[in-house]
Amino acid sequence: MKTVERLRKDSDTVWRSIIDHPFVVNLCTGDLPLDKFTFYILQDYHYLTTAMKNFGVIASRADSVEDLREVVDILHLEATSEFEGYADFLGRLGHTVEDASETEPIPVSVSYSSFLLATSSTRSFPESITSVLPCFWSYAEIASHHKDRLSANPNRLYRDWAGVYLSDSYLSLVEKLKEMVDRAGEGFPYDKLKEVFITASRYEYMFWDAVNKVEKWPV
């Protein structure tokens, strides 16, 4: 069994909780209130900008030219097409990138981002690249698992959002990341990869839960 297959199997309980989360299900059926979706999109800015910084750190930790080039390619994709798509969704919701940049990140966003940056800054390349995989991969699984619900979803905005994660380009990106983790995991202690993978997966669940509750700082 490949490393990514083991990681997915060992985190299945968390992933099932993500896929079946009320926010995710209601988004895919079209029953999610628009204000909750808007809150999610505005909060996603903090993750997206942190992800760009994080891939820059990961690139500096790469152990081979092949890994370096692939991480830089992902960084470029995040900074261009991913960000452009994000700005488009903001515009359709009546907001701008400036609005998102001025939105205070919620507690879990700060904690999740700090975890990713700390992992990439202080731990190995295999652990760093493994820590970013749950985000990309879980979005693809969400869209695939709820494909039938999405096809009947009356909300075009929500269908378009999910369509990104069913596109050939996005699925190719997920496969590239999985291949990188498999390659980096050869001969590397599996338990260390499992730790960061499950932690990142838990943060994914916590983020969905927080935006569903429209969570704010308590004080």
Asked if residues 155 and 30 have their Cβ atoms less than 8 Å apart, the reply is yes
The string of pLDDT tens digits covering residues 8-57 is 999 999 999 999 999 999 999 999 999 999 999 999 999 999 999 999 99
Contact 82, 48 (CB under 8 A): yes
Whole-number mean pLDDT of the chain? 95
Residue 183 — pLDDT band, cuts 50, 70, 90? Answer: very high
The rounded distance, in Å, linking the Cα atoms of 78 and 82 is 5
Q: Within a 13 Å sphere around the CA of 171, how many CA atoms are in the beta-carbon half?
A: 9
The per-residue DSSP string of 6-39 comes to HHHHHTHHHHHHHHT-HHHHHHHHT-S-HHHHHH
pLDDT at 77: 86
Residue 126 · residue 191 · CB < 8 Å: no
DSSP 155: -
Instruction: Give 168's pLDDT tier (boundaries 50, 70, 90).
Output: very high
How much is the pTM?
A: 0.96
Q: For the domain made up of 3-212, give the CATH fold.
A: Heme Oxygenase; Chain A (1.20.910)
pLDDT tens digits for 81-132? 888 889 999 999 999 999 999 999 999 999 999 999 999 999 999 999 999 9
Specify whether the CB–CB gap between 173 and 74 falls below 8 A. yes
pLDDT, position 63: 86
Token pair for 116: 């990713």
Q: How many CB atoms lie within 10 A of CB 159?
A: 15
Q: Alpha carbon of 109 to those of 25, 94, 208: distances in Å? A: 21, 23, 10
